[in-house]
Structure 1
């Protein structure tokens, strides 16, 4: 019996919805590893496993809240025509085209950088008696002052860059090293580009043309397009802090039931040691070390970017300041480090108390 088009589309929609639900319900391997570790410890202690509480997260403020206003600085058409002398006319014409007016934040950043280069070249090469110099000099200074704002808007309101800093909702998997390297290299490039753009100490020796200068911006934009690795890293560290604290607290509360000493039955302590070596050492510990290492690599890059962006003409809202303090300046990392250390210290105390040799 033939199926109508509407019926076929309805069935197709149901299949898509089911597929999406199945994907979203897929268990996270590392979350499962913590669950298994926690459950095995609870089994040995003969207690109910304490439920993992929700992890409170700070949301990256909205684009509207983060957008830095930019004064509209225009160069008149007649003057722009005169800029053919130093190669800027083509760039401005492209920007004023229909396509130029709808470009994304990354392309907008590239335009502003090229415009600054062009203005600097014009100021350095036009005849000293040119009437154009008097108009270009203040425009160049204004554009130079605006460049941190343009970078800020690109990073925090541009789709791909903002996505990187938006917190995830599940623990990073252990096989995502390639994505980390892509994110680190992209933000390292932005950091260096920002530094050079603010200093602008080099002479510009050629006018604007259709060269590929700043084309790497698009390469890195594409590189991070399908990822939000940094946000997932922030989430993973904050979530594992919650998981570790819950497990450590339950172990500490059960300390009195773990008997060790001469002429005592140390079976429970020995079983706990077995769980430690079977689940924590080969799985949990390397994962925590990976998160720690990756954060310590990406944090200084993000800090340097934000330090350079912290200009007098920059307004950073209170929610954004809180986000930066927690995830970039290290408050969250300190909590993660303390949770990891507290968990390790519990096992150190147990091994010392029970005279267990490390590695056995």
Structure 2
């Protein structure tokens, strides 16, 4: 437990040392160039205060009370020689450290405990007196019934899980990779939940690396920020393109003009050459991230506050993810319409891919 706390402290310290926000800078530069070339009335910088709408609900709204079913070695009178693992686990839970066990550690512990009960009952079934076996069977059923509550508390009360669902003050960096190990770790945790209570949770030694991966990650929080900032950037950029095409077409007679060539240069160099690769990274990460959040939301007994939040982030209607996709599609269509109006779209006579 002490080692885990030290790791978390180190990760928090490292996360405080952040480079410049080149993701937001890229978006601001694109908007500025587009606005200037189209003689726009100006653009608004991204307001980070808007991220507050994606604030993770308070822990007290996501964590539930679980009846504490304690096991006494004196009550069970377990034969230490025949059920050593169960005896050890019960002693561990009743120790001072065991009583302070973190919720995420308790999930693995409960899995180990139920496996030990299975092993002990297999031995007890060969004994004449079945009273202890029946007591353990009742305990086993009660513990299995609580597994989903234990699972959700393990996630919702862990700083690692909370970190992965909180927005960052920075957008995803331009150099970000398209695969995020933290999303894969979250997907594995979601799979654990989907298999409960029929399949027992893994041991703590297998679960801890997943939680550490969530805490070490900066990209999932940055992705939330990028999705909102890009939605804002793309909506403003699309409005500029659509307004110019509607009010003052660049090519009144449908043939390329000098101003249209400037716009084509912006399209090739700053949209296709700079912004679009960034959009592709965000889109690929976002696809995996949103699918994982919906997988997590499908686990039974999810606390309503968390379910609402996950739908707000990744749901199919009015979510952050859906808004980004809609803004991206709108922007592609806006560029297509403008370039086609000047016979400069890919495949038309005026097209060139050279800036």
Report the alpha carbon displacement of residue 97 of structure 1 after superposing the two structures with TM: 1.6
- Large movers: runs of 4+ above 3 Å: 261-265
Structure 1 CA distance, aligned partners of 2:253 and 2:113? 79
Which among 304, 319, 323 is matched to residue 295 of structure 2?
304
User: Residue 132 of structure 1 aligns with which residue?
Assistant: 132
User: Residue 290 of structure 1 aligns with which residue?
Assistant: 281
User: Residue 354 of structure 1 aligns with which residue?
Assistant: 342
Which among 317, 322, 325 is matched to residue 308 of structure 2?
322
Are residues 221 and 325 of structure 1, via their aligned partners in 2, closer, same or farther at CA, if it must alter by over 3 Å? closer
Q: Tell whether the 8 Å contact from 2:151 to 2:193 is kept in structure 1 after alignment.
A: yes
Q: Secondary structure at the match of 2:111?
A: helix
Are residues 125 and 235 of structure 1, via their aligned partners in 2, closer, same or farther at CA, if it must alter by over 3 Å? farther
Stretch of structure 1 that moved more, 258-267 or 287-296: 258-267
Structure 2 CA distance, aligned partners of 1:77 and 1:122? 13
Are residues 141 and 222 of structure 1, via their aligned partners in 2, closer, same or farther at CA, if it must alter by over 3 Å? same
Report the alpha carbon displacement of residue 67 of structure 1 after superposing the two structures with TM: 0.7
Which among 326, 329, 343 is matched to residue 338 of structure 1?
326
Are residues 160 and 278 of structure 1, via their aligned partners in 2, closer, same or farther at CA, if it must alter by over 3 Å? same
Structure 1 CA distance, aligned partners of 2:210 and 2:189? 9
Structure 1 CA distance, aligned partners of 2:33 and 2:177? 29
User: Residue 225 of structure 1 aligns with which residue?
Assistant: 215
State yes or no: 1:82 paired with 2:75.
Answer: no
Q: What aligned pairs does 1:164-179 form with structure 2 within 5 A after superposition?
A: 164-177=164-177
Q: Secondary structure at the match of 1:258?
A: coil
Are residues 355 and 263 of structure 1, via their aligned partners in 2, closer, same or farther at CA, if it must alter by over 3 Å? closer
Unaligned regions of 5+ residues in structure 2, if any?
1-13
State yes or no: 1:237 paired with 2:227.
Answer: yes
Are residues 328 and 199 of structure 1, via their aligned partners in 2, closer, same or farther at CA, if it must alter by over 3 Å? farther
Structure 2 CA distance, aligned partners of 1:80 and 1:109? 23
Q: Secondary structure at the match of 1:82?
A: coil
Report the alpha carbon displacement of residue 81 of structure 1 after superposing the two structures with TM: 4.3
Q: Tell whether the 8 Å contact from 1:258 to 1:268 is kept in structure 2 after alignment.
A: no
User: Residue 37 of structure 2 aligns with which residue?
Assistant: 44
Q: Secondary structure at the match of 1:168?
A: coil
Q: Secondary structure at the match of 1:135?
A: helix
Structure 2 CA distance, aligned partners of 1:346 and 1:94? 64
User: Residue 71 of structure 1 aligns with which residue?
Assistant: 67
Structure 1 CA distance, aligned partners of 2:304 and 2:136? 30
Structure 2 CA distance, aligned partners of 1:122 and 1:184? 37
Stretch of structure 1 that moved more, 93-102 or 270-279: 93-102
User: Residue 104 of structure 1 aligns with which residue?
Assistant: 102
| Residues 308-349 of structure 1, C-alpha deviations (whole Å, 9 max, x = no match) | 2x23xx5423xx343121213242222111100111101111
Structure 2 CA distance, aligned partners of 1:88 and 1:59? 42
Q: Tell whether the 8 Å contact from 1:171 to 1:235 is kept in structure 2 after alignment.
A: yes
Q: Tell whether the 8 Å contact from 2:147 to 2:196 is kept in structure 1 after alignment.
A: yes
User: Residue 11 of structure 1 aligns with which residue?
Assistant: none
Are residues 306 and 70 of structure 1, via their aligned partners in 2, closer, same or farther at CA, if it must alter by over 3 Å? same
Structure 1 CA distance, aligned partners of 2:341 and 2:256? 13
User: Residue 205 of structure 1 aligns with which residue?
Assistant: none
Structure 2 CA distance, aligned partners of 1:143 and 1:229? 36
TM-score, L = length of structure 2? 0.82
User: Residue 31 of structure 1 aligns with which residue?
Assistant: 24
